[in-house]
Amino acid sequence: MGEMYVPVNIESIQPEVFPDVALYIRSGDKYILYKSHGRNFTQQDATRLLGNNVEVLFVSPEDLEAITTYMETNAERVLQDDTLQAATKGKIIYQTSINFVGDLFEHPEKVSDFNRSKRLVENLLQYLSSDPACLNSLENVMSHNYYTFVHSLQVAALSVLLHREAYLLSHDEMIDVAIGTLLHDFGKIFVSQEILNKEGKLTPAEMEAYRKHPEDGYLYLKANTKISDISLGIVRYHHERNNGKGYPQGLKGPAIARSAQAAAICDVYCTLTIDRTCRKALSSSIAVGLMKQEMKEAFNEKLLDVLEGIVCADNPAQFL
């Protein structure tokens, strides 16, 4: 985990509008410089890399702002292109997103279920791409705030794993969980960029605007898509807390659907462990420790134990 390198699919690079960023190739858990600042990425580069089966390049945290702006604009272009089929749009979203899933684990190579969870996310996104309303919603998030999109994908992947370890779910329920978690922060498209990207503390007025996102997302998705009540519940209640100190309704314990409780845990865990450059990321065990002690009352204890088993590499047994 740690610093966030942003994956860029080579086929999605348009040399004429691509920003001047350094590009890296990932080798194991290291990043090797492919091109430095000041040299253009050309069609020949693309051909050569693809010929060597390299499909994805990475941009370092140093260039995070430039690449994020590019990704948001790129998503907007894709979103507005009516000639592209939903399936093609789904593929583009999938390709730009799948590489983030690995960042959830400090040692993905140690998690024997890792490839399976990757495949699961792949299938889910493929499923999503067959539902234009869902896909559109995801594209809206991606073009409004790229970080929110990446975060949503990570929370969804982890939540699917958490559900699989903690409960017996049918395939359809799993799809509902994944869709709800992927879209949990959908309401943030109604929150301004200034608030979403602000580094310091929010003013009370800004906080009030920010805290509307669960309800606004819920209302919009309920009116404009056919997503299920389980999915809608995740969107609406992912900021509720076990001790009743969450929002919007201050629900307590079992009054909060378990899928929303799981989303809350994954949401906070991903926020603590993924670096946004302004704040250093915590290791898995420190993040889980913090959630178990200082935020103890806020979460379902049993689910926290399951999360610990999934993300802390030193904890055996979960994947045997």
Residues that bind Fe ion (CB under 5 A): 185
> Is the Cβ of residue 270 or residue 287 nearer to Fe ion in the bound state?
270
Amino acid at site 87: A
C-beta of 213: minimal distance to Fe ion in Å?
6
> Is the Cβ of residue 185 or residue 216 nearer to Fe ion in the bound state?
185
Pairing of strands 30-35, 23-27: antiparallel
C-beta of 232: minimal distance to Fe ion in Å?
14
C-beta of 252: minimal distance to Fe ion in Å?
19
Nearest-CB residue to Fe ion?
Answer: 185
> Is the Cβ of residue 129 or residue 145 nearer to Fe ion in the bound state?
145
Strand partners of residue 6 = 59
Cα of first residue to Cα of last residue in the chain, in angstroms, is 23
C-beta of 148: minimal distance to Fe ion in Å?
9
C-beta of 160: minimal distance to Fe ion in Å?
18
Give every CB contact of residue 134 below 8 A, 6+ residues apart in sequence: 128, 179, 183, 225, 227
Instruction: In whole angstroms, give the CA distance from residue 258 to residue 180.
Output: 12
> Is the Cβ of residue 74 or residue 148 nearer to Fe ion in the bound state?
148
> Is the Cβ of residue 123 or residue 249 nearer to Fe ion in the bound state?
249
In 3D space, the residue among 56, 62, 63 whose CA is nearest the CA of residue 27 turns out to be: 56
Instruction: In whole angstroms, give the CA distance from residue 231 to residue 222.
Output: 10
The beta strand positions in the chain, using DSSP E, are 6-9, 23-27, 30-35, 56-59
